[in-house]
Amino acid sequence: MKDHTELPRDAAELLVCVKCRRGRAAPDDERWPGQILFDALGAMELPQGVRLTPVDCLQNCDHGCTVALRGGARWTYVFANVDEAAHPAMILDGAARYHATADGLIPWRERPEHFKRNCVARIPPLETANV
């Protein structure tokens, strides 16, 4: 599932856990809620500069679908409680806003409401002098 193509330095990457199950047992049809979310996002037009990448697990299994945004010298954000049917457009809006920043810090008032209330983690960039 890994995409080893190099991202441009200023690009952003939207990681989607395709194994997210929202605290349920494996679904009968073997399509996990996370896979449904990934497929929905993949069917939409991605914001310029944003790459969509599936990941097998973000270790947040009981808290809805989970996504992460990372890229370049930006902070990485992990968001939970994402709904595979209701949130794809909101996620892409947030990804576009994230990409538009140099550091990943979307001003509070400009963040999608879901991002404000469902941030699981904020991780500093790999290459940073001060955090």
Q: Mean pLDDT, 10 residues at a time, over the chain (131 residues)?
A: 56 94 68 93 97 93 90 95 96 98 96 96 81 55
Q: In this predicted structure, what is the pLDDT of residue 63?
A: 80
| DSSP-derived secondary structure for the chain | ----PPPPTT-EEEEEETT--TTPPPPTTS--HHHHHHHHHHTSPPPTTEEEEEES--S-TTSSEEEEEE-TTSPEEEEEEE-TTTSHHHHHHHHHHHHT-SSS---GGGS-HHHHH-EEEEE--SS-S--
- Quick one: pLDDT at residue 2? 44
- pLDDT for the residue numbered 60: 86
pLDDT for res 129: 62
